[in-house]
Structure 1
Amino acid sequence: MKIQGSIFVIFFITFVAHSQEVIFEEHFNGDTLDAAVWNYELGDGCPDLCGWGNNERQIYSKDNVAVKDGHLVLTASFDGETYTSGKINTKDNLEFQYGTIEVRAKLAVGKGIWPAIWMLGSTISEVGWPKSGEIDIMEYVGKNPHEIHTTLHTPDSHGQSKNTKITTAANIEDGFHLYKAHWTKDFIKFYIDDALVYTFSPEIKNKDTWPFDNPFYLLLNLAVGGNFGGPEVDDTIFPQEFSIDYVKVYKP
C-alpha cells in the first residue's frame, strides 16, 4: 500500500503541475524568430551601459541568433579580435505578473562563457535598475563547472546579491535540462529538472526587498567574460552554442 500510495502522490503532483493553464509557449519551429514576441538586443551597450554594466566582452549581433531544428541557438564566436554573441528579450511584447516559467535549455560551456535565463521588471525604463527588480532563473559561468546560480536583485540586495543560491549538479553540462521559476505574491521558488533548489520569500516585503509585484519580461543571452563570467576567456573553445528547446509560461 505504501508503494501504491507513493505512486498516487507522484501522479497527483505531476498532474497538478501540468494542468496549469499555459498562457504562452514557444517551441522555436520554423527558421526565424517571432518578431511579435522577441526583440534583439544589439551592440555592446554603449554609450548608456557599456559592457552591459558588467564589463562583458561580447558584441551582440542578429547573426549570432538562429532558429534551427526546433531550437533557438545563441552562438558565441571569436574571430581573433572580436567576441560576438546573441541576446533576445520579450520587452513590451510578453510581460506578465506572477505565474510559472519553464525553459528547457542546453548550456554553452568553457572558461569565460556565461549563458543566462532571466527576467527584468517592465518598469526599468521609468525607475531604473535595481528598483525594477531582476529574477535570475539560471546563470552558468564556465569557469566554475557544474554550478548553477539562482539570484534575485533588489534595491536591498544587488550586485553581489545576498539573495542567491548556487546548486551543484555533476551532469548539468550534459544535454538539455529544465529551469523553472514559480512566482507568486508571497514567494518565488526555483527548480532544476523539477527539483526545488531555492525559495525566496523575505519576511518583510517592501519596495526595497520585494520589487516583484509588477509585470516582468524575459531575457535569454550568452555573454562572454565580464565581472561574473570572469576576466579570463579561453579563446580555444569558440564557437559555443546556448540552445533553448522551449519556453512556457503558465497562468498564476
Structure 2
Amino acid sequence: MDNYMRLAMLCLSFFVQSCANKKALVWEENFDGTTLDEQVWNYELGDGCPELCGWGNNEKQIYTKTNHTLKDGFLHITIKKEDEKYTSSRITTKGKKEFKYGRIETRAKLPLAKGLWPAFWMLGSNISEVGWPLCGEIDILEYIGRKPNTIFTTLHFEEQYGENAYTKTTTINGIEDGFHVYAVHWSPDKIVFFVDDVKMFEYEPDHKTEQNWPFDQPFFIILNTAVGGNLGGDTIDDSIFPQEFIIDYIKVYEN
C-alpha cells in the first residue's frame, strides 16, 4: 500500500470516528431577539424572603426583571448599585426546559469585580418536593471576584453539601479575559466538568444511593450573578459598578 492510500484510509477512519463521536444537539439558547422567551425562562425576583432570605447564602442583591438585556445575540446580566441596594438578575428554566444527562455548556464572559459571584448551574426538578440538598445541585461554573484566576466546579447532595460540598477549585490564568466555554458531561455513571474542553474534575461514586447520587432525574438550568454572600465574600468594591456577566449561548447535547 502506497503512502497516498495510507493517508486516504487514515483520513477516512478519522472522519468515521468523528461522526460516531458527534452527539446530537438537544436544545440551544442563542439569546436572539430583544426579550427573553418566557416559554423557556422564569424570573426569580427579590431577596429570597421570607422563605430564603439572602437566597440562603447571606447574599446582598435584589433580583429584578430589568437587570438584563439581549443585544446582538448575547445576554447581558447587569449588576448595579442603586442608592444602597445591589440589583442583579436570576433566571431559570424550571418546569419549562429540564434535562436528564448529556453535555450542558455555555460560552460566557465573566465580570471582574471583588464581591461578585456569577454562576451557571442546575438544580434537581424535584426540589419543591424534597428540598435542597436532597434534590441535588450541579455547579458548572462559579467565579468569585475576590479570588481572580480561579474557577469553582461543585456538586451538592445530601452526603456532601454547603461547606462540605464535593468541589474543585482550579487556577486558570486569564480566565477573566474574553469568552470561555464551561461544560459538564453528565451520564448515568459519572459527572465530569470542563473549561474550554479541558477536564477539571469528575465524580463517580462506586455505590450510588439517594444520598450521594440524586442525578438520575431531570435538572433545570439557572443563570445569575450574586453580590457578596458566603462565597462572594463580605468585601464588595462599590467603585466598579455597573458590571456585566455576558452569555453567548447555552447548548445541550445528548449523552
Cα distance in 1 between the residues matched to 2:251 and 2:175: 20
Q: Secondary structure at the match of 2:163?
A: coil
Sequence identity (%): 54
Cα deviation for residue 162 of structure 1 reads: 4.1
Cα distance in 1 between the residues matched to 2:150 and 2:18: 26
The question of 1:36 aligning with 2:39 is answered yes
Q: Secondary structure at the match of 1:62?
A: coil
Cα distance in 2 between the residues matched to 1:43 and 1:99: 32
From 175, 186, 196, the equivalent of 1:172 is: 175
Is the 8 Å Cα contact of residues 152 and 161 (structure 1) preserved in structure 2?
A: no
Q: Secondary structure at the match of 2:239?
A: helix
The question of 1:182 aligning with 2:181 is answered no
Q: Which runs of 5+ in 1 are unaligned?
A: none
Which residue pairs with 1:231 in the alignment?
234
Cα deviation for residue 9 of structure 1 reads: 9.2
Write out per-residue CA displacement over residues 59-103 of structure 1, whole angstroms, 9 at most, x where no aligned residue.
000110211121011111002311000110000000111111010
Cα distance in 1 between the residues matched to 2:193 and 2:38: 29
Q: Runs of 4+ in structure 1 displaced over 4 angstroms?
A: 4-17
Is the 8 Å Cα contact of residues 65 and 87 (structure 1) preserved in structure 2?
A: no
The question of 1:97 aligning with 2:104 is answered no
Which residue pairs with 1:69 in the alignment?
72
Write out per-residue CA displacement over residues 42-63 of structure 1, whole angstroms, 9 at most, x where no aligned residue.
1000000000000000000011
Which residue pairs with 1:121 in the alignment?
124
Q: Which runs of 5+ in 2 are unaligned?
A: none
Cα distance in 2 between the residues matched to 1:101 and 1:205: 22
Write out per-residue CA displacement over residues 157-189 of structure 1, whole angstroms, 9 at most, x where no aligned residue.
001134111111111000100000010010001
| Aligned residue pair count | 249
The 5 A counterparts of 1:3-14 are none
Cα distance in 2 between the residues matched to 1:161 and 1:9: 46
Aligned partner letter, 1:179: Y
Cα distance in 2 between the residues matched to 1:120 and 1:103: 16
From 49, 53, 56, the equivalent of 2:52 is: 49
Aligned partner letter, 2:128: S
From 130, 133, 139, the equivalent of 2:133 is: 130
Cα deviation for residue 191 of structure 1 reads: 0.4
Aligned partner letter, 1:250: Y
* Closer, same or farther: CA 171–46 of 1 in aligned 2, 3 Å: same
Q: Secondary structure at the match of 1:114?
A: strand
From 107, 110, 114, the equivalent of 1:111 is: 114
The question of 1:140 aligning with 2:176 is answered no
* Closer, same or farther: CA 177–14 of 1 in aligned 2, 3 Å: farther
* Closer, same or farther: CA 196–6 of 1 in aligned 2, 3 Å: farther
